Structure 1
Amino acid sequence: MPMTPHARDARRGLWLGALAVLVFGLTLPVTRLAVGDASDPQLPPGFVTAARAAIAGLCSAAYLLAVRARPPRRGLWPALAACAAGSVVGFPLFSALALRQVDAMHAAVISGVLPLATAVVAAITLRQRASAGLWACAVAGCALVLGFAAWSGHGRLQAADGLLLLALFSAAASYVAGARVSLEIPPAQTVCWALLFMLPLTLPAALLQWPPTPVRAGAWAALGYVSLFSMWLGFFAWYRGLALGGVMRVSQVQLLQPFVALLAAVPLLGETLDAATVGFAAAAVGLVALGRRFSAAPAAAPRAPSPAWRPAEPDPEPGAMTR
């Protein structure tokens, strides 16, 4: 029996969503490859943060010119600035600093509750009425990651754990802000405008922080990956997949993202995967899946999209925009 166009789109959407999750799942191990560790440092975390955003920003400028995108209205600039501050500066910088001190598997488990954190931030900042179930999952998720951090740190928390939590909430805040902007402009353009917004800062910062000493070619290759794929192209596959396959269906593949990071850390970094780490990651994913059942409903209807952009389906939940 031939497949209907709707079924073909749904399948393509799932494949594109899975491709994006693979791209995003590799971000933490590849970032660790770029910055190295305390005993074998490679590219400085500040340089990686600025350079990945500058490279992606230049690509975004070319893309926006190619599609003749109209600049967002001035009323969206504060939300774009918040999106850029979290996703272009906060998450990359704090995670890169943390990965100098802890391995990628540790970071993957902590960041596994990012969709849940984003739902909580959305409930607070968008004045949504969150259910008791969502708050219970949020508290349980916080306790889980703190318990894992203490277990991994032999009974105590490390400075890197605080940095990872700052990275997590930076990303959560940026995703909520980006979701609001995406109500009026195509979502793929949202990340491009955020990157372009920061380009006057990130490009000079990258040049000023150019590494003074030689580093391995693998670190440069890792920088290229997080710049072109994690920071830019991955979002094109993700948003296209959500549009074709449906938000609720395609966003579920994101539950695999922590496991992609765990598995990738073995061949890329030589880290050892143990049963306890997998167990903590599985528990984090389970809480995220449960938390999605308690998604908050907005107190007020969002602004209608502009005539230039009308999504076929509701916009993706903010928690479905992680990388």
Structure 2
Amino acid sequence: MRTQSSATGSAPIAVIAQHDQRALGTGMAALGVASFSLTFPATAWGLESFGAWSLVAVRSVVAALVAGGCLLALRVRLPERRHLPGLAVVGLGVVLGFPMLTTLALRTSTTAHAAVVVGLLPLTTAVCSALRTGHRPSRRFWLAAVAGAAAVLAFTIGQSGGALTAADGYLFAALLVCAAGYTEGGRLACRMPGWQVIAWALVLCLPVGVPAAVVALAHEPVRLTGHGVVGLLWVAVGSQFLGLVVWYRGMAAIGIPRASQLQLAQPLLTLVWSALLLGEHFTAAAPVTAVAVLVCIAVTQRS
């Protein structure tokens, strides 16, 4: 009887612990989204002082130095050899590919137009995750994800006047490589601490980032301004390292597809930051789209 009572009493505790873990994971992923929403405005600031190639190379080096310092301070062991291919995918997709492609796009595109990328990223990540891990979300999940992506896409294209630009090629390529990096990073975060995933990916990219930074800085003019320095520091430390630390931790806790849908709110947050920090304007359609997106997020979180 005592054993049965103990087993029965432990069940609610396990349910509460699971609920708390999911709530913590959702909070971590949401913090990551909030950090990412500042990436495009910060990149626009960074481009005031650096060329596109210089900005991406220097940000990767700065982020890698911070990440490497954390690994050394905590005496973290080298990653297992079997994890290296996955870390390489994270590095190529999240550390190098996405920043480079979006920075090139932002030379000729507004941040509002670039938000098309992150508007479609949750759906692309969910598809990539299903192909990579074999996980199959429910039909309701897919319907809500597609509806949310469609709402964000319609809003952001409307904000840019409905015209496609030459930067769209960069943006859609960035969409694909980032989805691959997110998926592989989320998978690795289930096997090792999430912060170590992005930290090792950054360190592995140093042999590319350092010579790229030297060459880029030698060929592109640098005009340091307050905005430029703040933008560089944010995309390097805030977006590239700390944001991905909490993002991968959240994905490991609540799953890649569910976490990816929280990013449906990212374009709208980016538009708010763009208005506040860059003086860009958007129409009254924003509140309507925000409500539609929040409904889609609620549905995906319960699917």
Q: TM-score, normalised by structure 1?
A: 0.74
Aligned to 2:102: 95
* Equivalent position amino acid for 1:225 in 2: W
Q: CA deviation at 1:278?
A: 5.3
Q: How many residues align?
A: 286
Aligned to 2:46: 34
Matched, 1:82 2:89: yes
Q: CA deviation at 1:107?
A: 2.0
Matched, 1:194 2:206: no
CA RMSD of aligned residues (A): 3.6
Partner of 2:167: helix, strand, or coil? helix
Give yes or no for contact 2:40–2:111 (8 Å, CA) kept in 1. yes
Gaps of 5+ in 1: 37-41, 295-323
Gaps of 5+ in 2: 1-15
Which one has the bigger helix percentage? 2
Aligned to 2:9: none
Q: CA deviation at 1:221?
A: 1.9
Give yes or no for contact 1:94–1:166 (8 Å, CA) kept in 2. yes
Match of 2:164 among 151, 157, 180: 157
* Equivalent position amino acid for 1:28 in 2: F
Alignment of 1:270-309 (within 5 A): 270-276=279-285, 279-280=288-289, 283=292, 286-287=295-296, 289-292=298-301
Q: CA deviation at 1:129?
A: 3.5
Partner of 1:159: helix, strand, or coil? coil
Larger radius of gyration: 2
Aligned to 1:297: none
Matched, 1:258 2:267: yes
Aligned to 1:219: 228
Aligned to 2:34: 22
Q: CA deviation at 1:222?
A: 0.5
Distance 1:12 1:146 in 2: 29
Per-residue displacement from partner, 1:258-303 (whole Å, max 9, x unpaired)?
3321111112111012123555565556545545555xxxxxxxxx
Aligned to 2:185: 178
Query: What percentage of residue pairs aligned between the two structures are identical?
Result: 38
Q: TM-score, normalised by structure 2?
A: 0.78
Moved more, 259-268 or 198-207: 259-268
Give yes or no for contact 2:33–2:266 (8 Å, CA) kept in 1. yes
Aligned to 2:7: none
* Equivalent position amino acid for 2:77 in 1: R
Distance change in 2, residues 1:109/1:280 (3 Å): farther
